[in-house]
């Protein structure tokens, strides 16, 4: 079966990259009349397109993943602002958009898995004080790319190095 035939039947091949998946799902959302998903995916694809224009080249898969993560982070910040403004309608909308975008992100690491990877990075670098946190983060961040929040990673590394 050709890829074009698979796409026309709504079957997404396993090798399809993230941007293609977003585009295919946008088309499906438009056909299904799912306005929330359509709006959310359009915003994510617009952010990707803007980054491609800035870079003057198509983005690699890790860069597209980073943009989707950034979109989730922006919505989490919107939730905080909406809660301060006592706007439960905006909170609910942002949470629904986060739920849609998170389906495109890799499975997040548990605290235990993240702590284990951090301990390995600390042992690998031989770091023993918080001053060496940068060295540990250089080793650890590529390993957790897209699977853990940077703030969470730094908190665990800081805790491990503090004692």
| Secondary structure, 3-state, the chain | CCHHHHHHCCCCCCCCCHHHHHHHHHHHHHHHCCHHHHHHHHHHHHHHHHHHHHHCCCCCHHHHHHHHHHHHHHHHHHHHHHHHCCCHHHHHHHHHHHHHHHCCCCCCCCHHHHHHHHHHHHHHHCCCCHHHHHHHHHHHHHHHCCCCCHHHHHHHHHHHHHC
Q: Is the pLDDT of residue 156 over 90?
A: yes
Query: Tell me, what's the pLDDT at 79?
Result: 95
**Domains of the chain, each with CATH number or no CATH:** 3-102 (1.10.1510.10), 111-162 (1.10.10.410)
Q: Give tens-digit pLDDT for 38-57.
A: 999 999 999 999 999 999 99
The band of 68, judged by pLDDT with boundaries at 50, 70 and 90, is very high
């Amino acid at each position: 079966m050709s890829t074009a035939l698979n796409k026309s039947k709504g079957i997404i091949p396993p090798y399809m990259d993230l941007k293609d998946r977003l585009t295919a799902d946008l088309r499906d959302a438009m056909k299904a009349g799912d306005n929330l998903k359509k709006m959310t995916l359009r915003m994510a694809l617009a952010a990707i397109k803007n980054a491609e224009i800035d870079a003057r080249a198509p983005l690699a898969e890790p860069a597209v993943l980073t943009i989707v993560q950034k979109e989730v982070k922006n919505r989490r910040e919107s939730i905080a602002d909406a809660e301060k403004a006592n706007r439960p309608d905006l909170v609910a909308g942002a949470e629904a958009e986060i739920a849609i975008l998170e389906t495109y992100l890799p499975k997040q690491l548990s605290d235990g898995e993240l702590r284990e990877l951090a301990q390995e990075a600390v042992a690998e670098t031989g770091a023993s004080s918080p001053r060496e946190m940068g060295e540990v983060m250089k080793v650890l961040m590529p390993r957790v790319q897209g699977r853990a929040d940077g703030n969470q990673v730094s908190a665990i590394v800081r805790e491990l190095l503090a004692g």
